[in-house]
Structures are given as C-alpha cells and as structure tokens.
Structure 1
Amino acid sequence: MLPNATHVQVAFILGPLTHLCLFIHGELNRYAVQIAASFVLAFFTTVVVIYRLEPDIIASIVKANVLIFTYLVALGGSILTYRVFFHRLRQFPGDAIDSLSKWGAVFKAQRNAQYYLELRDLHKKYGDFVRIGPSELSISNVSAVRAINSSQCTKGPWYDLGGTNFNIHRTRDPEQHDRQRVFWDKAASGTALRNFLTKINNHVIRVVDELDTKRPVNITTLFETSSFELMSSISFSEEHGQRSSQELAEMLSTLHTNQLLLIGIGHVPWVYTFREWFPFLIPSTAKFRAYASEMLNRRLALKPTTPDLFSYLSKAENSDSPHFPVEWEARLSTVAGSINDSALLTAITYYLAKDQTFQSALRAALLPLLTSGAFDPRLSIPLLEATIHETLRLQPSIPSGTERLTPPSGLYLTSEDSCSSPPTTTNTNSTTFIPGNTIVRIPNFTICRDPRYFVSPDTFIPERWTTRGELVRDASCFFPFGLGPYACAGKQLGLMKTRAVVAALVGAFTWRLAKGMEEAELLGRDEFSVAFEACWVEFERI
C-alpha cells in the first residue's frame, strides 16, 4: 500500500527544491489560489499516474497521500530551517513564532484586537528593532521615520488585500499613485474646502442639537453616525435624513465587520485572495462594496450645484492618464471619511472630559472667536491644534503603523540620520542595516509614547505643543497623517471637520465622563485604523 522508497525520496527532495527555486523568490501572496489549486492538481495527477501503473484506486490514493505529505513536510521543513538559520533577518530579535510564520501575528492580533499593544510589549522586551514576521520588522526609533516614509520605500504586500491598483490608498505603483494624487489634491484644495464649508457648518448644528436632547450620550455611536452622514454629503451630495437611522446603523455595522477582518487577515493577505474566487467566504465584503457602489451610482446620476468630492475624482475617468475605477475611490472615501474622523472626535471628547482644566482653557481661547463670528475651521488655532495633536499622539489613527517595503539595496539607519548608501566611519557604531525587500513598519502607538521622545508620554498634556515645548524631546517621530509621497491626501479636510465640531462642542457645552466611565482607559480596537468601544459622556449646556 505504501510507495517505494525511491518515490518517497524524490518527493522529499522536491520539497526544498521548489522552495529554493520558486517559493523563496518574489511575492506570491496574490497567487495563493493558484498555488493551492496546483497542489490539488498535483495530488489528483499523482493518483491517476499511480492508478495507471497499479489499477487499485484505494492503493493509489494512499500512495499519493504519502507522497504529497512527504513533499509538504520537506517543503515546510526547508522553509522553517531557512527562516531560522539563513534568513537575512535572522540577527534581529523577536518571538520565535514570529520568525517562523505570520500566523503568530494573527493569533496576537485576534487575541484582544489590540495588536498595537502587542507591538509595544515586544519593543519593551526586545528593543527598537523587532522581527515580527519572517520578512518583517517593527522599528520604534526616530531614525527610521524619514527613511521609511521616503520615496525609496514602497508599499508592502498588505496593500494587495484582494488585488492590486484599486485606489490611491491601495495601489503599490508609485507612478499610478502620483497620477491619481493630482485629483485628490484638487479635491482638498482651498477652493474645494470652501465649497465644503456650508455642509460642515450645517453638520455641526445638527450635532449640537442632538446633544441637547440626550443624557448621557454614547459619543462613539454619535460621532460614527454623524461622521458617516457628513461623509455622504461631502463625497456623494446626499441630503441629511436621506437614509433612516436603521439603514445608517446597518451600513456602519457592515463597515465595521469588514474592517474587523483586517485584524487577522491583514497579517496574512494571501488568505483574502480566496475571497475573490469564493465571495461567499466573506459576505460582509460584498455587502460593503454594494453599499459603496449604490452611493456612487446615486451620486453620478446627480448634477450637484455645489461641487462635492466626486466632482473632482470623477474627472479622473475623463483624463488621458490611466485611472482607478471610481467605485474603488468611493470605497476609500467611505472608510476614511467616516471611521477615522469619528475615532478622532471620540478621543478628543474623552480627553477633554478627563481634563476639565484644559477644557476650560480651550473654551476661553475659542469663545471670543465663536461669538464674534471670526472662527474659521480652515485656519489653525494654536490651542485647538494642540488638542488635536496631543490626541493623535496618544491615539494615532493607525496605531500599529503601515507597511513599507525597503528598496533592493536596503537602508542604513543611524541615530542622527538615515541614508540609502553606506555611512561614513564617524557614525558606523550607531548604524543598523535593514536588508533590501524587507517589510518594515513604525508602530505609531509605541513610538509616540516613548519617553525618549516625549516627557510624561502617557499623559494628555496639549500644552507640550504650545507653551511647554520642553515636554517634546523629538517631534520628528510624530507624523499622524503620514510623510512623503503617501501622506494623507485628505488631511486638510479631516482637520477642518474636526476643528469645526470640537469648537462647536466647546462653545456650547461643558462635559464630563458619565458615571462608571471615570476610570476607564481609552484603548481602541486595531482594525488597521483605530475604533473605540462605547464611551458615555454627560453634556451640559453653557
């Protein structure tokens, strides 16, 4: 019933041979289905070949299983041996399971849905450079900030989730990104922001009115719902009340369910490839796509009198340059314009509720502008900007950081600067070489709470950005909207919306955390972007 020894030996040799000749080269994430299919085909082919030699179906299946199993054991053994003893990242410290497979990261991410805390603990244990995957490093050192966010580094394989070149956020092609970025920059220009101002002001009035009628308030839900409505207005020219509260709740639930997939699948993006072939495996993705397409189709049937986001983005389809399908940009704006904005507003409201003294100081700074009509959310106001900065420092929108891929030549990082060529002898002792084609990330939550860069790093002290500059030891590790060519295109629009809402709340209410929430720590779920659980607040009209 068993295959002869020669056949077993051949199967065993094929394992490391295919590893060294095929699987060790390039990125194969997007070909996961084809690779799985090839294994299935190899099994059935083996069964057929054996059956033709020995017409016994049971014996043929048993022998084929033994040969395929032998091959897979040899392949797995070759991969694990290489990753432990010969891999270019073998000298970097980290948990043993992480050096062997990304499934260790999946387990850590799923454990509490707070992978950024797992990264913080790893850096406390191992230092600034931690191996968090077979070919991946987490770097919590300011020397890496400019180098990793420079044009030398490109986006990592996480961005291939489900395919490639979908929108400005997901494309890994720098040239295509730059072509599409032109349209996003126009959508965030001064003229565009002026067009959005009326919609934002109307939105603020509705938020204040809603807070007047509820005691206490779950600000997480309130801001998620209101931010989604504002996003719908700015992006798709939808009217307030166009969707029922039940429909909004269903859309937000679908959005969160889809984002929650990123907690685990984000670490093994090849798994998501199976969804493209078998959509029933992840139904929430299809549902989310349907919602975004429906919103876009409604918008494209309109001729809004005031330009909205897609007044600019839809022009990309009429340009001479290659463009992204506009429905993919719709999905991007749906997520970025609602979840990220609402999380920031929730965090700001939480910290101001905890710090009544600073809440009063911010009110004193804003009231004269609000009462005189001089407040303009497009403009930076020092104390309000400090509030936003300090909140983003403590609760970064992407707490675990984003993936980047080092150039083939690698990167040299020093304590003073970063460069892409070998350093001089004067700084060799403080140099760390990151090999080429390595996935790297800067863990934003960890680095922004590092005492080397901020005094009292876990404490909300907005004055560190204004009158108490000595509390900031190195601000270059703080880049809440990204740096370099992939910096957030919607930064100014996001800041404008946040300033408007926070100023309105400060001018209309005093607030504190509801009973039972006083000692609660604000730690969100890591869904790539941060998302918070229910946060209850008591508002009182001034």
Structure 2
Amino acid sequence: MPLSILLYCGIGTVLGIFAHLAVFIHGEWHVRAPEVLIFHTALFALASVAKILSSATVHHPFFEGILYTSFCYVLALLASITVYRLWFHRLTRGRFPGPWYLRVSKLCHVWKVRKSTNHLVLEDLRQRYGDFVRTGPAEVTVFHPEVFSAVDGPRSECIKSEWYDLLYPFLSLVSARDKSIHAARRREWLRCFTSKALIQHEDKILEQIDELDRCIENNALAHKPSEMRDLCFWFGFDAMGRFVFNRSFRMLSDQKWHYVVVRLQRALSLLGPLSPTPWLVQLGLRLGPKVWVIRDWHESATWTKGEMRARLEDGCAKRGGGPDLTHYLMEQKGEISYKDGLYWMHGDSLLAIVAGSEPTAYVLLAIFCELAKHPEDAEKMYEELKGADATNLRVLNRLPHLNAVINETLRLYPVLLTGGARKTTKEGVMIGGTYIPPNTTIVSPRFSIQRREDCFEQAGSFIPERWTTHPEMIRNIAAFNPFSTGHHSCLGRQLAMDIMKLVVAKLVKKYRIQLAPGESGSRVFDGMVDQFTANPGNLSLCFVLR
C-alpha cells in the first residue's frame, strides 16, 4: 500500500478515536442526533463523490485520500466506541451483569421490544441476572424496591433521563429536566390543584360520569355488553378535554373516537419500541418524513396548538364550566400575551391530555376487569356503598374496601410499566448497597418491582385485603410507588384518585358487573403494550341493574 494512503488512513483513524474520546464521550448527544446524522451522511457523500472523481479522472491522490480518511474515521469511531463500552466503561468496572450486546448498543433492545413489550423483556432480564442489570451502554435497570426513594426522594440528586426531551424544542412540566425550571413550573401548576380548584374540576367530572353511566345503562337495558376499553378511554379524554380546554372531545355523547385522539394514540405507539433510544425518537420526529405515525404526532401537536389559541381567544367565561388549566396557568396571572407562556402551554396541554387521560382510563379498565373476575369484591364494595352518597368524596375516602381495590389495582397494573427513568449526577447514587456511578440512566420497572414476592405475599394475585384486614401480606411497602415520590411525584394524584373513586362507586352501587359471554378478562393484560404509559387490551362486560 502506498505511503500516502497509509498516511490518510492514519489521519482518519486518529480523527475517529479523537472524536469519540474528546467529543462524543462527553455530555449528552441525543438532542443533537439529527445534526450528527446529517454531518456523517455528508461525510459519506463527500467520500463517495471523491471515489467517483478519482475513478473518472486521472489518478489523483487527493480524492483517494478523502475516501480513505472518511472510511477510516468512521471505522475508528465505531471501534473506539465498541471497545470502550465493552471493557473500559465505568459500568463495566462496576461489574453489572447483563447481555453483552446491550453494553454496545440499545438498538438490540429496540429490536427485542418492537412489539412494545418492554415490561416483559425487562422482567425476563430480572429473572436471569438479578436486581441490577446493565441494559445499555450507560444504563442500569434496577429492580430493588429501594430504587424509588433513592432516585426521587427528597435528598436525591438524580435528574430526569434523556427520554424527557421528547418534546424538544417545546417545553412542559412533565418534560422539564432542569430541577430549578421544573420546581418553578410546578409551583405554577399547584394553582390548578388547590382545594377550590379540585372542587371545580370534580363538578365537571361528575357530568362526565353521568355521560358514562348513560352509555352503560343503554347497553344494560338493551342486554348488550359494554366495550369497556372504548368507554373508559372516551371518558378519560372527554374529562381531560374539559380540564385543559373547558371543552369535551364529546366521544361519550357521540359514541365514537375523536379523530385527533385516534391520531394521538397511533403517534404514542412510536414510543413503545423507541423509548429505550431517545436519540432515535429525535431522529424520527425531526428528520423523518411526515407520514404514518410521525404525521400523526405532528398533526396532534398542531391540533393542540390550534385548540389552545382558540381557547385563549374565547376566554374562560365564553366556554363556561368554570376555570380550566389554561385559566390557572395563563389567564389568572396575566400571561396571555407572553410568548413564553404560550410556548409552555403548547407542550403542557398536549402532555396534560395524555398524562391525565390514558392512565386514568387504563386503571379504571383494570378495576372493572378485576371486579368482574372477583364479584365478591364488588359485593363487599356494594355493602359499603348501600347507605353512602356515591358523589361525596369525604364519604368515599372512608370506605376501606373501595380504597383497597384501587390500591391493589394500582399495584398490579402500574400506569408506568417501565417508564420514568432517572439519571445520576456527579455523585452517583447508592441503592440497596450497590453504587450506581455518575451519569448513568436508571430504569425502575414498576411492573416487576410491584410484583415481587419478597415485597408482597402472593404478589401475582388480586387481594385487596392486603391493604385492610391482612397487612402482613405487605412485606415491603417501599415497592409500592404508583405516583412517584418527592419533587417528581404526580401533581394530579389527588384528582386521579378522586375520579376513580367517583366512577367506581357510582357504577358498583348501580350495577352488578359480569364478564360478557366468551370473555375471560385476560385480553386486558395479554394485549397490553408499554408505550411509556400502559395501553391495555380490550374488555367486554355486562352490566346488570341492581
């Protein structure tokens, strides 16, 4: 090989290793993934042009040199990354077990969860490797029950992981990763959840519950089964539409899916297989052609922006129904004219609808599935409700079996199956006697942790009494964390719990709940997919008037 070619190969190799060790190994690059891809695509294009020119003209070492330099740069970059991740990474030194290929790249993980079953894939890894598993180049999945207090407790220095940059460049409370920004925005949101505000929200919820009841009653009188997945999700989105924009999606009254909600749910399916790789999400949403689910995402975001502007133009009084999220976050403090306020609200409104609708709908569906499979629990609840006002939350809060059923459902059917990853900062974190190094993503799968036999006796069984008359069945309460803790805890927890109590109380008091002919209830779990929030399968139930 000519000396000049060796020189060019050497230059490319040095540049590739330098790019890794001096640039890409430091900081976060997921948000810059589109720019990185464009740069390296241009590099390959330049090399290809150089090759063509060197073939089409008299031999010219300069063109050939560009080709060899580019090729060796990329090869050396990939080789340096692979060698470092396999043998020299801080997690390798920590001796965290796990499949070797996940140390190199998360792309293998994407392939394994292509059917959006990340919760099952991670549970399989737990059974094979234990409580601490290296599931990525800089990621550890922790199944130890102490993980929640360690990453979200009051003394934790952990921050939200790269996944939360999903909306970049837009902002929202849920996706804010900077602690000071998140804390400031969280204080703004607290105005939406004062006692007075909750009463106003619950008045709207009661109207939506009446709509849900009318749908079920019509089916009951016609001796038809109710398709509960549709009804629960229609109810959830209608209620959140009123919470955010003071306008329902009208799915319960129209008895059909709103086109934007259909698009939004299709768009969220992208998060199932791509959640393990935030950089791929950035590539897809920012560089991908606006077709298929990417088009659905952009059109959902565009609709939300338009609806927000229309809501601001209408004003709270014109739409009626009392103050909504927009009123508390913008109108009440006079931010309506501020560009940054609107910028925040575009992201906040979209995620508020998703984060408020899907989890509530999913848990309600799971509750009715379990009550249909365990009619004795429904009857215990009915006995509590006989002389009670099913619309009075003070009364419902004192009903032990009602609250136990909800807690047990939240344990078995966590809203975030594997989502909610955190990232350690410069000090790292200690969990269950194991040290997690700095700048490491920590995944804490509630699906697995809340079903640990060493934390809950008969962990896979639906036993509400563990929360009332048999507390000894709870071996480690630290494993139960449905709404997160500390400064990252769910702000809408009280509202969500109130909604579930009101819906369940009204329907159990009015109906006997039975599985429809041919329905076993297994479809809810068997058809469940993990797309950050859980998305369950179908369920057909028969409601019989008492």
**Do the structures match in fold with TM over 0.5?**
yes
TM-fit CA distance, 1:181: 0.7
* Structure 1 equivalent of residue 226 of structure 2: 217
* Structure 2 equivalent of residue 229 of structure 1: 238
* Structure 1 equivalent of residue 171 of structure 2: 166
**Residue ranges of structure 1 left out of the alignment (5+ in a row):** 415-430
Contact (CA 8 Å) 2:251, 2:257: kept in 1 or not? no
| 1:309 to 2:321 alignment | no
Distance 2:176 2:249 in 1: 33
Which residue, out of 328, 333, 339, partners 2:358? 339
Distance 2:296 2:175 in 1: 19
Contact (CA 8 Å) 2:369, 2:521: kept in 1 or not? no
| 1:287 to 2:299 alignment | yes
Distance 2:58 2:446 in 1: 57
Shift of the 52–65 alpha-carbon distance from structure 1 to 2, 3 Å rule, reads closer
* Structure 2 equivalent of residue 410 of structure 1: 428
Shift of the 257–199 alpha-carbon distance from structure 1 to 2, 3 Å rule, reads same
1:20-59 to 2 correspondences below 5 Å: 20-43=21-44, 56=57
1:238-257 to 2 correspondences below 5 Å: 238=247, 241=250, 245=254, 248-257=257-266
* Structure 2 equivalent of residue 119 of structure 1: 122
Distance 1:539 1:499 in 2: 18
The one-letter code sitting in structure 1 at the alignment partner of 2:103 is S
1:94-243 to 2 correspondences below 5 Å: 94-110=98-114, 112-150=115-153, 151-164=156-169, 166-214=171-219, 215-238=224-247, 241=250
1:519-530 to 2 correspondences below 5 Å: 520=522, 522-523=524-525, 524-530=528-534
Shift of the 52–104 alpha-carbon distance from structure 1 to 2, 3 Å rule, reads closer
* Structure 2 equivalent of residue 418 of structure 1: none
* Count, aligned residues: 524
Which residue, out of 377, 396, 399, partners 1:381? 399
TM-fit CA distance, 1:267: 1.6
TM-fit CA distance, 1:24: 0.8
Distance 2:58 2:123 in 1: 55
- RMSD over aligned CA atoms reads 2.7
TM-fit CA distance, 1:171: 0.9
1:358-397 to 2 correspondences below 5 Å: 358-370=377-389, 374=392, 376=394, 379=397, 381-397=399-415
Farther off after superposition, 37-46 or 466-475: 37-46
| 1:389-448 CA-partner distances (Å, limit 9, x unpaired) | 11010010000131111121111223xxxxxxxxxxxxxxxx211101110021100000
TM-fit CA distance, 1:293: 2.0
The one-letter code sitting in structure 2 at the alignment partner of 1:481 is F
Q: TM-score, normalised by structure 2?
A: 0.89
TM-fit CA distance, 1:292: 1.6
Farther off after superposition, 451-460 or 177-186: 177-186
The one-letter code sitting in structure 1 at the alignment partner of 2:234 is T
Distance 2:334 2:392 in 1: 39
The one-letter code sitting in structure 1 at the alignment partner of 2:242 is S
Shift of the 123–533 alpha-carbon distance from structure 1 to 2, 3 Å rule, reads same
Shift of the 178–58 alpha-carbon distance from structure 1 to 2, 3 Å rule, reads farther
Distance 1:61 1:512 in 2: 75
Which residue, out of 82, 85, 101, partners 1:83? 85
Contact (CA 8 Å) 1:292, 1:334: kept in 2 or not? no
**Residue ranges of structure 2 left out of the alignment (5+ in a row):** none
Farther off after superposition, 319-328 or 215-224: 319-328
Contact (CA 8 Å) 2:144, 2:431: kept in 1 or not? no
Contact (CA 8 Å) 1:410, 1:435: kept in 2 or not? yes
Distance 1:239 1:512 in 2: 29
| 1:50-106 CA-partner distances (Å, limit 9, x unpaired) | 899998399887764544232222211111111111111111001122111111221
Shift of the 58–535 alpha-carbon distance from structure 1 to 2, 3 Å rule, reads farther
Shift of the 245–9 alpha-carbon distance from structure 1 to 2, 3 Å rule, reads farther
Contact (CA 8 Å) 2:388, 2:395: kept in 1 or not? no
Contact (CA 8 Å) 1:317, 1:326: kept in 2 or not? no
Secondary structure of 1:494's match? Answer: helix
TM-fit CA distance, 1:510: 0.7
1:507-518 to 2 correspondences below 5 Å: 507-518=509-520
Distance 2:256 2:348 in 1: 22
The one-letter code sitting in structure 1 at the alignment partner of 2:260 is M
Secondary structure of 1:341's match? Answer: helix
Shift of the 15–412 alpha-carbon distance from structure 1 to 2, 3 Å rule, reads same
Contact (CA 8 Å) 2:397, 2:403: kept in 1 or not? no
Q: TM-score, normalised by structure 1?
A: 0.90
Which residue, out of 451, 454, 467, partners 2:453? 451
Farther off after superposition, 305-314 or 74-83: 305-314
| 1:138-162 CA-partner distances (Å, limit 9, x unpaired) | 1111222211113411001011124
TM-fit CA distance, 1:4: 1.7
Shift of the 250–239 alpha-carbon distance from structure 1 to 2, 3 Å rule, reads closer
The one-letter code sitting in structure 2 at the alignment partner of 1:359 is A
The one-letter code sitting in structure 2 at the alignment partner of 1:462 is P
Secondary structure of 2:32's match? Answer: helix
Secondary structure of 2:269's match? Answer: helix
TM-fit CA distance, 1:177: 0.8
* Structure 1 equivalent of residue 335 of structure 2: 318
| 1:9-32 CA-partner distances (Å, limit 9, x unpaired) | 221232222111111111111111
